[in-house]
Amino acid sequence: MTDFLETLTTFLKQEFLSNSYQSIGISILVVLIGYVLRKSVSRWFFHFLFRFFKKFSNNTGHDEFVSLLVRPFQGIILLVTIYLAVINLKFPEVLNLSATRIEKIDDILHRIYATMVIFSVTWLALRFVDYIIMILYNRAQETEDKSDDQIILFMKDLIKVLVIIFAIFFILSAVFKLNITSLIAGLGIGGLAIALAAQDTLSNLLASFIIFLDKPFQAGDLVNFNSITGTIEKVGFRSTKVRTLDRSLLTVPNKSLTDGPLNNITQSPFRRVKFMIGLTYGTTSEQIQKVIEEINEVLKNHEETKNDFTVAFSDFSAYSMDIMVLFLVYSNDWEKMVRVKEEINFKIMHIVEKNGCDFAFPTQTLHVQKG
């Protein structure tokens, strides 16, 4: 047994690339232990840490808290174990590196390592912001006012941008030893050129603040603008997500929502319907009057229309005599408005047919002269 230990000790003291087998073995063992235990240690740590957030989260979101933060924390554990594994290893002498060269390489490796650590911590911070915003958003959804929902989502993006900017400046200052004050001053000199180049982006950013201050709409509202009708899903820094009536997702620059007229359909108790009925020129005045009277009766007796409507003989157009129909539906729901309009359209068709009238369509009359 003694001989075996002496042989093992002698073997471990032997060197490979200027490092003993003992040092190399310890380094490999540290990395393996860190890799194997990273998941269990991370989960245990955040299971324990969640106890301090129970009151804030009303004892909800435990699984989300762990799943969001475990992966970035695993990266931090791996980086720490790698540092502990290689801190005592030497550069191989066969490379014939001078002391100055070794110092430069060591400095580069330390900067790369520090940058990776800061990135991992920033990732962890961003995930933590996701969790905090998730809890606040769940609370906001319990209130009747929906404006706080979109404000919280906007604040999520804003805080994340600030965290990333802080991390970048911290890397430049702590890792690359740059003078941040001078750097900011230099950015100020070129700020005008940057502002001109990013004029549209800045306009959209300013428009997003106008939307939150003026509150022309909130998440879930049905709006109409620039011949587009859809439901607001999310207001971001530069653009707003709108779900159109055909269920496609439209990304609209915020500037487009503040520069032109916007109709918030949700805030209106009624939906306005207006269309024209074109009758042929062979229709008599008595027939037109009868059609108008009967359409008035339909709108007056319909349960879903407001008693504020207009039916009138409005125009002599190129190929038809036009009757204007304008009424309000007792709902701002799009599908209900379409259904009511369909019912009234069928009744109008029946009225026109019953009175012996015909709907007009584009026609031309040719007069041929003989000789």
pLDDT at 306: 73
CB contact at 8 A, 13 and 20: yes
> What's this model's pTM, rounded to 2 decimal places?
0.61
User: Alpha-carbon distance 90 to 105, whole Å?
Assistant: 12
CB half-sphere exposure, 91, CA atoms < 13 A? 14
pLDDT at 187: 57
Non-local (6+) Cβ contacts of 59 within 8 A are none
- Rounded to 10 degrees, the C-alpha dihedral 98/99/102/108 comes to -130
Say if residue 188's pLDDT is above 60: no
Q: Which of 177-181, 206-210, 223-227, 363-367 has the highest mean pLDDT?
A: 223-227
Which pLDDT score is estimated for 9? 63
The residue among 263, 271, 275 whose CA lies nearest residue 330 is: 271
105 or 98, greater pLDDT: 105
Q: Which helix (H) or strand (E) holds 271?
A: strand 271-279
Look at 6-20, 74-88, 206-220 and tell me which has the smallest mean pLDDT: 6-20
| d(C-alpha 340, C-alpha 327), whole Å | 11
- pLDDT of 18 over the 70 cut: no
Q: What CATH fold (topology level) applies to the domain 196-266?
A: SH3 type barrels. (2.30.30)
- The pair of structure tokens assigned to 166 is 């802080």
| pLDDT above 80 (res 298) | yes
CA distances for 313 relative to 11, 105, 117, 273, 323, angstroms: 108, 89, 77, 17, 4
pLDDT-derived band at 269, boundaries 50, 70, 90: confident
Whether the per-residue pLDDT at 166 is higher than 80: the answer is yes
- What pLDDT does residue 11 have? 58
pLDDT of 260: 82
pLDDT (mean) for 10-30: 72
pLDDT tens digit string along 219-233? 788 888 888 888 888
Q: What distances in angstroms separate CA 246 from CA 224, 230, 232, 270, 340, one per listed residue?
A: 14, 9, 14, 22, 19
Average pLDDT over the chain reads 81
**Which fold does the domain 269-354 belong to in CATH?**
Alpha-Beta Plaits (3.30.70)
Contact 338, 319 (CB under 8 A): no
In the chain, domain spans: 11-194, 196-266, 269-354
Listed range (125-134, 317-326, 361-370) with the worst mean pLDDT = 361-370
- Average pLDDT (18-36) is 80
> Cα dihedral sign for 346, 224, 150, 247?
positive
Mean pLDDT of 199-210: 74
pLDDT band at 16 (very low <50, low <70, confident <90, very high): low
Which pLDDT value is given to residue 94? 58
Full DSSP string of 289-306? HHHHHHHHHHHHH-TTB-
Which is it for the CA torsion 287, 291, 292, 296, positive or negative?
Answer: positive
> What integer is the mean pLDDT of 46-66?
79
Task: Specify the range with the lowest mean pLDDT, choosing from 50-54, 273-277, 363-367.
Answer: 363-367
Predicted pLDDT at 371: 59
Q: Which of 151-155, 256-260, 317-321 has the lowest mean pLDDT?
A: 151-155
- For 7-24, what is the mean pLDDT? 66
End-to-end, the C-alpha distance of the chain in Å comes to 134
Q: Which of 63, 41, 62 is nearest to 53 (CA)?
A: 62
Summarize pLDDT for 131-161 with one digit per residue, the tens: 888 888 887 777 766 666 677 777 888 888 8
